[in-house]
Structure 1
């Protein structure tokens, strides 16, 4: 399980690091050193945020339940219906509406679960 978490963290950190590395001139002889310093600073900054924000995992759970369902289920189905309106069958519309409803319900359950955990940690 640890390797899955570390690989996911490295994959999500890489685009940020690459954008910052583009600011370094490519003909710089210390490019590798600067690259390591940037990535190390990013790791330590996320560590500091994780340690300083109370209930960071629960806040990320709330954010994930809201945004992940929206981006992965609701938005694609809604965009498909919007783009292809008039050229899709009623079955496709019904299927997309079903996907949107499942995404909205899942998002509500996930948000409720995360909020109840946050409230329990704060007041319980």
Structure 2
């Protein structure tokens, strides 16, 4: 979408957008085929960052923004979610790193 918005308004035609999207897909395919263990690297990034963005940061920001207005139930629930998110991120990151190391040996 960002690249589509960079096109001048008179060039934002359906055919140009299809060509731009096709070029992006083909370039992504070429990068994925040229980088060894691309799937394992993506699993590493996903396991680490997905847990951070979807579970840990929202709860931490909620608790930071509403410091004095949260009930102890909300604190307990957010703390539980943060702990589970950190544990899952650690397990996923360890699993991905061990798969990458096994692929190199």
User: TM-score band (shorter)?
Assistant: over 0.9
User: What is the TM-score of this pair, normalised by structure 1?
Assistant: 0.79
**Residue-by-residue CA offset, 1:7-46 (whole Å, 9 max, x unaligned):** xxxxxxxxxxx22122223334x82232122111101110
For 1:24 and 1:90, how far apart are their aligned partners in 2?
51
Q: Which moved more, 1:30-39 or 1:57-66?
A: 30-39
Ranges in structure 1 where 5+ consecutive residues have no aligned partner: 1-17
Q: Which runs of 4+ in 1 moved over 4 A?
A: none
For 1:97 and 1:20, how far apart are their aligned partners in 2?
39
Q: Which residue of 1 aligns with 2:86?
A: 104
Q: 2:7 aligns with which of 7, 21, 24?
A: 24
**What is the count of residue pairs matched by the alignment?**
105
Aligned alpha-carbon RMSD (Å): 1.3
The answer (yes or no) to whether the contact 1:24–1:31 under 8 Å persists in 2 is no
Q: Which residue of 2 aligns with 1:7?
A: none
User: What is the TM-score of this pair, normalised by structure 2?
Assistant: 0.93
SS at match of 2:6: coil
Ranges in structure 2 where 5+ consecutive residues have no aligned partner: none
Q: 1:47 aligns with which of 29, 34, 48?
A: 29
Q: Which residue of 2 aligns with 1:81?
A: 63
Does 1 or 2 have the higher relative contact order (CA < 8 Å, sep 6+)? Answer: 2
Instruction: State yes or no: 1:119 paired with 2:75.
Output: no
